[in-house]
Chain A
């Protein structure tokens, strides 16, 4: 994997070390399987797409990876550290600094009663920033990067359109320079034209910041454009994984073949 920013390259061991290593991850709800025996490596700068129908376990997997739910079995190593063995304090610090989580519904990831600038600045303050002028400057810079005009910095997100709210959520998440970003259906619920704008933005950020991303979606067009690798889930299990266009162009598993052939061509 090629890395593009020197500061980022210095933060990792080297491109041949996975940033995230997942082995045998399993989550049950009573006798029902949430996700079972999921294993994969994610390298710096890589975007991994997870697709599958509703109830396939993709969102359960994402929330276990991000530490929102506790997995029953398995191992997660982030940057060589055992995530499941970490103290709650350490894990929370990780999710405030190195990790970010973009919710499908921006309302779940934003504070609706706080201004746009405040939403971005709050993340910075959570990692120790105290200088008001610098926080505001950085907030305005990030709002610009996600194409929100500087004159909207004092407006509340409730006055924004759905697409703007989603871009604000991304700015709030990326302002602390995370290395790993979890995304749950980030383009779901948006108009197609707004989706395109968001996809363009995400691709640029991944390329310029060397982000690693795990993106859950049911939209195969989104993963084709955004994800390097693809994992297909059914009934809580990974039925197929590989290079995105290989999985989509030459699917091996019956379920993937059905999924790919069910998409309307436009």
Chain B
């Protein structure tokens, strides 16, 4: 579902004397449907960089990156938009939403964006929020005022609202208590069971051991010529 071959990336800082910082070279891995692959490596080794390249946030300097039917390296913006809407979900560490939008709407939005009828989308959102222990009295409020852990759970609910065939998870269990961590791990297991290909960063070792089928150390993808940014 996700195929990465000899991927490379560098940043050119035009306003700092045109310094070129190579951050990745020769990155190769693949994730099959129903499989969860965990990225490991020290902070700064390039785990998030790789995830951002898969999601299309970072341009690709060289190599191949295919998600489903989309060649991410050469795709037009509108093809990436379609990929993100239908195929590839991303649970980041930070919730970025329009202020004032109620939590229930924030979670239902990915479903509304693919044309799911509003009542079905809200039912699914309510189901996920309930599972993730977000009290119903908060659903009509914007999550911007919530605690860090609550925002993280809203973000997870949003990421799992649509049954994406491929998912990127950046520290989905960070800042969660034991009960909610268990819910998130079950959501990941259910996604795998329905055939989702998952690429994730898990610092929590027990979580990693439980959901990851394989681990890939990104340290091997660090360019030999220079240190990662």
Q: Which residue of A lies closest to B118 (CB)?
A: A208
Name A's interface SS. helix
**Does any Cβ of B come within 8 Å of A12's Cβ?**
no
Q: Would A245 and B57 count as touching, CB distance under 8 A?
A: yes
Chain B residues, CB < 8 A from A245? 56-57
Q: Would A200 and B98 count as touching, CB distance under 8 A?
A: yes
Chain A residues, CB < 8 A from B225? none
**Does any Cβ of B come within 8 Å of A92's Cβ?**
no
Give the contacting residue for B57; candidates A197, A250, A254; CB below 8 A.
A250
What separation, in Å, do the CA atoms of A25 and B227 have in the docked complex? Answer: 44
Stretch of B76-84, B164-172, B198-206 that contacts chain A: B76-84
A214-266 at interface with B (beta carbon < 8 Å): 224-225, 228-229, 242-243, 245-246, 249-250, 252-254, 257-258, 261
B11-50 at interface with A (beta carbon < 8 Å): 11-15
Q: Would B15 and A228 count as touching, CB distance under 8 A?
A: no
| Residue total for B at the interface (Cβ-Cβ under 8 A) | 26
Q: Would B85 and A254 count as touching, CB distance under 8 A?
A: no
Q: Would A254 and B14 count as touching, CB distance under 8 A?
A: yes
Chain B residues, CB < 8 A from A250? 11, 52, 57-59
Q: A2-B115, A257-B13 are in contact. Are A196 and B82 (CB under 8 A)?
A: no
Work out how many contacts link A and B, with CB atoms closer than 8 A.
Answer: 69
Q: Which residue of A lies closest to B57 (CB)?
A: A249
Chain B residues, CB < 8 A from A43? 78
What separation, in Å, do the CA atoms of A200 and B77 have in the docked complex? Answer: 23
Chain A residues, CB < 8 A from B99? 193, 196
Chain B residues, CB < 8 A from A228? 77-78, 81
**Does any Cβ of A come within 8 Å of B114's Cβ?**
yes
Q: Would B81 and A252 count as touching, CB distance under 8 A?
A: no
Hey, which bits of chain A sit against chain B, CB under 8 A? 1-4, 43, 46, 193, 196-197, 199-200, 203, 207, 224-225, 228-229, 242-243, 245-246, 249-250, 252-254, 257-258, 261
- Known pairs A1-B82, A2-B114, A228-B78 / 4 extra A-B pairs, C-beta < 8 Å: A2-B86, A193-B99, A225-B98, A250-B58
